[in-house]
C-alpha cells in the first residue's frame, strides 16, 4: 500500500503566555492508508476540527492533571468530525461519520476509544458536531440545566456570550423563560447577541470601565445564574451582584489561561453572604447525557428555534491562526477549521 501525503499541524515548543501562530508549524508527513494487521484502531479522514479554549492548557509544559499536554514535534489534538476510511474495530465501519478526539492532520489512525460518538443525524451541517451537536453543545446543556438548575423568570448572565458555548446557554435560558444578558468583546458580537441570538441585553466589556456598575444597570435585582466562561475581573464584579442562593456553573476561565499568574478574585466572601454555589464541571463527566441532549436540541434546530453561529476557517494551514484567535476573541461564534468537506 502506497503512502500518501498527510499535512499536519505540529506544536513547535511549549507555550508561555499568549499562544502565537508561530508556536505551531504546518508540516507534510506521510501515512499509509491502512489499519495495520491485527490492530483495533480506526483510520480516519478528518473533515472538521474544533478550536476550543481548553487547548491552551495542553500547550503548557505542565498541561494539567487529568488533561495531559501536547508533545512538541507532534501534531496537536482536539475534537473533530471525521469519516472512517477503514476500521479494525467492530463498532465502526468504512463510511461511518464520527466525532471524538483526533489529531490536527488530514488522516489519523486512532484507538477506537478516542471516538466519542457515531453521527446518526446528517440532515444538519456536519460541522455542527464540533459545536452545537458536539462537546460545546453538551457543555452548555449540562452546565446550564444540571449545574445551574434554572427556574423560569430567573436572571442569567453569560460571559463570552457569543462563543461556542455561551450563545447556546443564552438561547437555552430564553427557552426556559429567563431574562438573559451576555458580555462579549466587540460591537459585532454584541449586535449578534441582541439581534440574532435573542438575548435581552448585551454589552461590550471592553467599553465598560466599571463592570460592577454595568452589571447593576442590567441586573438591578441581581443575578441568579452566572455562567462563567472567563474568570478574573468579570467574576469579581459578578460576585458583588449575585442574588441570594445564586449559582455559578464554572465552565471555563479563558481570560486566565495565558497568564503566568492568574488574577486574584477578592469578593469570594459573597459566596457566604449570598449563599452561592459555585461549581466547576467538565463535560466529559456528562457524556451519558448526550442522547438526551440530542433529543432536546435537534427539534429546536430543525424548527429554527435555536440557531448556531460558526466562524469557519478553510484549510488545515489556516488552523493555527484560527486557534490562537480564540484567545484574543478574533472569532465570531464557534471557531471551526475545515480540513475537507467529505
Q: Which residues bind its own copies (CB under 8 A)?
A: 64-67, 231, 235, 244, 250-253, 256-257, 261-282, 285
Closest approach, Cβ 243 to its own copies, in A, equals: 10
**Which residues does residue 249 pair with via DSSP β-bridges, in sequence order?**
279
Q: How far apart are CA 228 and CA 85, in angstroms?
A: 39
Q: Kindly write down the DSSP assignment for every residue of 313-337, as one continuous string.
A: EESGGGHHHHHHHGGGT--SSEEEE
Closest approach, Cβ 160 to its own copies, in A, equals: 14
* 215 vs 235 by CB, closer to its own copies: 235
Run of H or E residues at 169? helix 166-175
Please say whether the beta carbons of 164 and 189 come within 8 A: no
Closest approach, Cβ 47 to its own copies, in A, equals: 29
Q: Which residues neighbour 134 within 8 Å (Cβ) at sequence distance 6 or greater?
A: 50, 79, 81, 99, 128
* 20 vs 277 by CB, closer to its own copies: 277
Q: How far apart are CA 202 and CA 196, in angstroms?
A: 12
* 4 vs 259 by CB, closer to its own copies: 259
* 283 vs 316 by CB, closer to its own copies: 283
* Phi, psi angle pair for 98, to nearest 5°: -140, 160
Closest approach, Cβ 134 to its own copies, in A, equals: 19
Closest approach, Cβ 52 to its own copies, in A, equals: 13
DSSP state of 299: H
Closest approach, Cβ 138 to its own copies, in A, equals: 15
Residue bearing cell 486566565: 256
Query: Which residue in 124, 171, 130 sits closest to 334, CA to CA?
Result: 130
Query: Which residue in 174, 167, 169, 115 sits closest to 142, CA to CA?
Result: 169
Q: How far apart are CA 294 and CA 17, in angstroms?
A: 37
Secondary structure, 3-state, 52-111 = CCCHHHHHCCCCECCCECCCCCCECEEEEEEEEEEECCCCCCCCCEEEEEEECECEEEEC
- Grid coordinates representing 239? 460576585
Closest approach, Cβ 33 to its own copies, in A, equals: 37
3-class secondary-structure state, position 273: helix
* 66 vs 304 by CB, closer to its own copies: 66
* 202 vs 248 by CB, closer to its own copies: 248
* Phi, psi angle pair for 11, to nearest 5°: -75, 130
* 36 vs 280 by CB, closer to its own copies: 280
* 279 vs 317 by CB, closer to its own copies: 279
Closest approach, Cβ 260 to its own copies, in A, equals: 11
* 116 vs 263 by CB, closer to its own copies: 263
Amino acid at each position: 500500500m502506497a503512502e500518501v501525503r498527510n499535512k499536519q499541524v505540529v506544536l513547535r515548543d511549549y507555550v508561555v503566555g499568549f499562544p502565537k501562530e508561530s508556536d505551531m508549524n504546518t508540516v507534510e508527513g506521510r501515512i499509509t492508508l491502512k489499519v495495520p494487521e491485527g490492530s483495533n484502531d480506526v483510520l480516519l479522514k478528518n473533515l472538521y476540527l474544533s478550536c476550543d479554549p481548553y487547548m491552551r492548557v495542553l500547550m503548557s509544559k505542565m498541561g494539567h492533571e487529568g488533561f495531559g499536554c501536547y508533545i512538541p514535534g507532534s501534531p496537536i489534538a482536539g475534537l473533530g468530525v471525521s469519516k472512517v476510511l477503514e476500521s479494525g474495530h467492530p463498532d465502526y465501519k468504512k463510511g461511518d461519520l464520527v466525532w471524538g478526539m483526533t489529531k490536527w492532520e488530514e488522516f489519523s489512525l486512532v484507538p477506537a476509544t478516542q471516538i466519542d460518538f457515531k453521527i446518526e443525524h446528517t440532515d444538519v451541517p456536519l460541522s455542527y458536531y464540533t459545536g452545537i451537536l458536539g462537546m460545546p453543545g453538551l457543555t452548555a446543556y449540562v452546565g446550564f440545566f444540571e449545574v445551574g438548575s434554572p427556574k423560569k423568570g430567573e436572571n442569567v448572565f453569560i460571559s463570552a456570550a457569543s462563543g461556542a458555548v455561551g450563545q447556546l446557554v443564552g438561547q437555552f435560558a430564553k427557552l426556559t423563560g429567563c431574562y438573559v444578558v451576555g458580555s462579549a468583546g466587540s460591537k459585532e458580537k454584541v449586535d449578534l447577541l441582541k439581534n440574532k441570538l435573542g438575548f435581552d441585553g448585551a454589552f461590550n466589556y471592553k467599553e465598560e470601565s466599571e463592570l460592577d456598575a454595568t452589571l447593576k444597570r442590567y441586573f438591578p435585582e441581581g443575578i441568579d445564574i452566572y455562567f462563567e466562561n472567563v474568570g478574573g475581573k468579570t467574576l469579581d464584579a459578578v460576585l458583588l451582584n449575585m442574588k441570594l442562593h445564586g449559582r455559578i456553573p464554572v465552565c471555563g476561565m479563558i481570560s486566565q489561561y495565558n497568564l503566568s499568574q492568574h488574577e486574584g478574585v477578592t469578593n469570594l466572601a459573597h459566596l457566604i453572604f449570598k449563599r452561592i454555589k459555585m461549581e466547576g464541571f467538565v463535560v466529559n463527566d456528562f457524556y451519558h447525557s448526550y442522547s438526551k441532549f440530542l433529543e432536546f436540541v435537534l427539534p429546536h434546530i430543525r424548527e429554527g428555534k435555536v440557531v448556531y453561529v460558526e466562524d469557519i476557517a478553510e484549510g488545515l494551514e489556516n488552523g493555527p491562526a484560527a486557534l490562537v484567535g480564540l484567545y484574543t476573541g478574533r472569532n465570531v461564534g464557534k471557531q471551526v477549521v475545515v480540513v475537507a468537506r467529505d
